[in-house]
Amino acid sequence: MKIKEQIEALREELRQHNYNYYILDKPTISDYEFDIKLKKLQELEAKHPEFYDPNSPTLRVGGEVTKNFITVVHEHRMYSLDNSYSKEDLLDWEKRIKKLVDGDILYTCELKYDGASISLTYENGNLLRAVTRGDGFQGDDVTANVKTIKSVPLKLKGNYPQKFDIRGEIVLPWDGFNKMNEERIEIGEEPYRNPRNTASGSLKLQDSAKVSKRPLECLLYNLTGTNLNVNTQIKSLEKAREWGFKVPNEAKLAKSIDEVLEFVNYWDIHRHDLPYETDGIVVKVNNLQQQEELGYTAKAPRWAMAYKFKAEQVSSQLNSISYQVGRTGAITPVANLEPVELAGTIVKRASLHNADQIEKLDIRVRDKVFVEKGGEIIPKIIAVDLTKRPKDSQPTKYITQCPICETKLVRKEGEAQHYCPNFNGCKPQIIGRIQHYISRKAMDIEGLGGETVALLVNKGLINNYSDLYELTKKQVIPLERMAEKSADNLINGIKQSKQIPFERVLYALGIRYVGETVAKKLAKHYKSIDALSFTSIEDLVNVDEIGEKIAESVVDFFSSQENYRIISRLKQFGIQMELSAEVLANHTNKLDGKSFVVSGVFVEISRNELKKLIEDNGGKVSSSISSKTSYVVAGDKMGPSKKTKAESLNVPIITEQDFLKLIS
């Protein structure tokens, strides 16, 4: 046999053994025999580098060192999920989705594993890249580390699509986690806290050889892409298994919410028998066309819901209450607790939210309190053990002055929180606003972190975000932990932020209630900061989805002389304060004031492209038909109830060709 054929035969044989062991859990040879074959392949590859294969089984042992993980934009956004905690939550969700889609709805129930989310991209059956979730829009390329995980196939089997993404969770099984901790204790090291954090931290280790020694697994649950040749979620899981992915077998098809709850109740008890950490159930609409019809909110798919198991509770003592000042001046009371272990982490603090919550709980210093992790992430105090309250206990008096600048606090009618009104003189507000400005979803200034911002403010080098653009290398290099290269990166990062598009600049300004989605809507509508700054509350509330609260906040922001001065400086420094010519060229007002509902399967363009065209031409996309709907754009397999409703309300039903003529 020729050398090349020998190498390829060994690779294929080792892949099959790997699949048998890690995916099917049915090994057909001993570990010793596998190691002998692997060593032989390593020797052949070393002698014949001309036959290099980036997805060879020998690369599973790692060895590649990554000093800086490259940021990669997800081709398809990785959304988070809405959470539910009761049968009532699930029934409400079912009611909402039944209003939006036709026909019977079946559900896929899957266990929600607690690990590090990952997106794997495959092209022509080969692993192309592995990217962390990040902020959902972009993440870190951790391909070298993920290649060492034995349950991630480097080459696929069977009839797979040419290119697709598959999403899943990198987990650390309990057995492996406990073994790692035994080894750490033996050598006098601190044990790891929990499997989730350890799995997540493993992906960012610089040496992939170290990652290969950790018993990580990758459990897959979602196919993403076009022309995948599947029409249901349950079928997509079966297909993924056929191609060689490790897909948990616990997933089940449910015909009703009652069957979903049976699944939930079963696993709430039996989850402790699983080899992995899990914190709930993910319920998905099974039909992929119905999923497409339901679409997404700004943060989550409408077609999925995470049902969280009841959170773990512990008892602790409240030692003191401190008060934090946020970037908007909002005051948040924080409970400082006697350290206690909760859901795998040590909890020392918990949010008390506001004065009303303190009054409602009648919480006092030295009280014994019950703490739980809301959604198993953020600790919160749910009750006070009044039987253990000290006799000399005194009611908590909420502060009346800012804990930092001592300005008298204000509380607007109808609002739960107190605010420090010293917008331009209160340091936590100044630091918080600049930290928001430089954040990834805003100006994404590389080389500049939250701690450095605090240092710059405290040293008097900056007092607002426009001051960043006057910083020099000479000024920043004396800062703590600032070397020459990091100073260069910081200054270059600030310069590069001048290319950030207007809608993100608008979000970065930190106008209260103006999040990413609202910033995009305002940028599209007004097209420049000048047009927005001279608008009125009456004009703003006429913009789609802009309410009076947001409108008042925007007008307040631009009525401030200090804000006006800062924006003028940002303009002088070359920050993008209007939509680019390229974006404007793709935008028209042809569909201004018109509302569209998109339903069915389309031929010439995808549903998402159709929605984008509507928005780019000034129209609004709605998920349900009402008397305010201007047109229903109907594709193949449009639901009969949508058709009936449109006809009863005399809403015109048009084809995708009719729509394209409308905007041509």
Confidence at residue 22, expressed as pLDDT on a 0 to 100 scale: 64
Higher per-residue confidence, 235 vs 542:
235
- Those residues with Cβ within 8 angstroms of residue 384's Cβ, 6 or more apart along the chain or in another chain: 361, 362, 363, 364, 367, 368, 369, 370
Annotated catalytic, 98?
A: no
- Does pLDDT of 438 surpass 90? yes
Q: Average model confidence (pLDDT) for the chain?
A: 89
Domain 595-663: homologous superfamily in CATH: BRCT domain (3.40.50.10190)
Could you read off the pLDDT of 42-74 as tens digits, one per residue? 888 777 888 777 777 777 665 566 778 898 999
> SS3 helix, strand, coil % of the chain, rounded to 5?
40, 20, 40
Query: What is the rounded average pLDDT of the residues 643-649?
Result: 89
Confidence at residue 617, expressed as pLDDT on a 0 to 100 scale: 87
Q: Which CATH architecture has domain 502-584?
A: Orthogonal Bundle (1.10)
Alpha-carbon distance of 338 to 315, in angstroms, equals: 9
Intervals of CATH 3.30.470.30 along the chain: 83-303
Q: What is the DSSP letter of 151?
A: T
Confidence at residue 651, expressed as pLDDT on a 0 to 100 scale: 92
Higher per-residue confidence, 382 vs 109:
109
Q: Within 13 A of 7's CA, how many CA atoms are on the CB side?
A: 18
Confidence at residue 63, expressed as pLDDT on a 0 to 100 scale: 58
Strand arrangement, sheet containing 620-622: 620-622, 595-599, 631-634, 653-654
Alpha-carbon distance of 620 to 372, in angstroms, equals: 41
Range of lowest pLDDT (155-159, 490-494, 641-645): 641-645
Nearest one of 193, 194, 190, 151 to 170, comparing CA atoms: 151
- Does pLDDT of 259 surpass 90? yes
Confidence at residue 111, expressed as pLDDT on a 0 to 100 scale: 96
- Does pLDDT of 83 surpass 70? yes
Confidence at residue 376, expressed as pLDDT on a 0 to 100 scale: 46
CATH 1.20.58.110 fits 313-387, yes or no: no
Intervals of CATH 2.40.50.140 along the chain: 313-387
Range of lowest pLDDT (251-265, 276-290, 584-598): 584-598
Alpha-carbon distance of 328 to 336, in angstroms, equals: 23
Confidence at residue 171, expressed as pLDDT on a 0 to 100 scale: 94
Q: What is the DSSP letter of 654?
A: E
Intervals of CATH 1.10.150.20 along the chain: 427-499, 502-584
Alpha-carbon distance of 383 to 374, in angstroms, equals: 13
Confidence at residue 284, expressed as pLDDT on a 0 to 100 scale: 97
Alpha-carbon distance of 318 to 350, in angstroms, equals: 10
Residue type present at position 557: F
Q: Which range, 34-38, 514-518, 530-534, 596-600, has the best average confidence (pLDDT)?
A: 530-534
pLDDT band at 19 (very low <50, low <70, confident <90, very high): confident
pLDDT band at 24 (very low <50, low <70, confident <90, very high): low
The CATH code of domain 427-499 reads: 1.10.150.20
Could you read off the pLDDT of 358-412 as tens digits, one per residue? 999 999 999 999 998 755 456 888 899 999 999 999 999 999 999 999 999 999 8
Intervals of CATH 3.40.50.10190 along the chain: 595-663
Could you read off the pLDDT of 167-199 as tens digits, one per residue? 999 999 999 998 988 888 777 777 887 888 889
Q: What is the DSSP letter of 309?
A: P
Residue in 47, 112, 179, 520 annotated catalytic: 112
Alpha-carbon distance of 137 to 119, in angstroms, equals: 12
Intervals of CATH 1.10.287.610 along the chain: 3-61
Q: Which residue in the block uniquely carries the two structure tokens 């309300």?
A: 649
- Kindly state the percentage of the chain with pLDDT values over 70: 97
Confidence at residue 297, expressed as pLDDT on a 0 to 100 scale: 80
Report the sign of the C-alpha dihedral through residues 112, 114, 120, 126, in that order.
Answer: negative
Query: What is the rounded average pLDDT of the residues 304-319?
Result: 89
Are 184 and 191 in contact by the 8 Å Cβ rule? The answer is yes
Fold of the 83-303 domain? D-amino Acid Aminotransferase; Chain A, domain 1 (3.30.470)
Alpha-carbon distance of 226 to 416, in angstroms, equals: 46
Alpha-carbon distance of 633 to 659, in angstroms, equals: 7
pTM, full prediction: 0.70
Token couple for 170: 């990198």
CATH 1.10.287.610 fits 3-61, yes or no: yes
Alpha-carbon distance of 396 to 96, in angstroms, equals: 42
